[in-house]
Amino acid sequence: MQTESLTGQLCPMCGKKELTLTEGASEVPFFGRLFLFSMHCSNCHYHKADVEAAEPKEGARYTFEVSGKDDLSVRVVRSSEGTIKIPHVGSLEPGVNAEGFVSNIEGVIEKFKKQVELLRDTAEEDEDKKKAKNLLKRLQNVLWGSEKLKIIIEDPTGNSAIISEKAAREKLK
């Protein structure tokens, strides 16, 4: 991947000239050329990243069933406009703080685990802590290959995808 960086830029959060802007391009098989953008402030640790397809794409929904350990390496592209859903677990929603990324199914599950761990650690009710612990067990079982899980990505810009022949793609209505 070829990247360019610009350092010493003004941070929009803390106002210090400690922001680094990075732009890169990468080729993802079966998806095409991607542009990756990020900003990171070494002073206040503000961070923002996004992904954009070089060629315009139509909005789409991808559905993928994780049925074994081999599926954990399937490539996932998520723009800041994309929503990732795991039914009965939760979702990563688009918005001001949404991050675009290129990862794999395992990385996506790890992101969900972090969300659930935060919920477990901040829950006041024992019932909520118990639900979070059960979700964490389920996600860990998926990572061990002993449980199945469905992952859905919806993106009106078409800049998100699950790159696998097993992924069902349909137009987003």
pTM of the predicted structure, to 2 decimals: 0.84
Residues 69/134, Cβ–Cβ less than 8 Å: no
Q: Per residue in 35-93, pLDDT tens?
A: 999 999 999 999 999 999 888 889 999 999 999 999 999 999 999 999 999 998 889 88
Task: Give me the DSSP letters along 133-168.
Answer: HHHHHHHHHHHHTSS-EEEEEEETTS--EEESTTSE
From the candidate CATH numbers 2.20.25, 3.30.60, 2.60.120, 1.10.3470, the one assigned to the domain spanning 1-55:
2.20.25
Residues 99/113, Cβ–Cβ less than 8 Å: no
Residue intervals in the chain for CATH 2.60.120.1040: 57-173
Residues 14/24, Cβ–Cβ less than 8 Å: no
Residues 84/55, Cβ–Cβ less than 8 Å: no
Q: Mean pLDDT, the chain, as a whole number?
A: 93
Angle at 65 between CA 57 and CA 76, to 5 degrees: 40
Residue with tokens 């402030």: 41
Residue 160 has pLDDT above 90, yes or no: yes
CA dihedral 104, 109, 114, 115 (to 10 degrees): 120
Residues 4/38, Cβ–Cβ less than 8 Å: no
| Topology given in CATH for the domain delimited by 57-173 | Jelly Rolls (2.60.120)
Q: Per residue in 130-144, pLDDT tens?
A: 999 999 999 999 999
Residue 5 has pLDDT above 70, yes or no: yes
Residue with tokens 């395992």: 106
Between 3 and 109, residue with greater pLDDT? 109
Determine which helix (DSSP H) or strand (DSSP E) holds 64, and give its type and residue range. strand 60-66
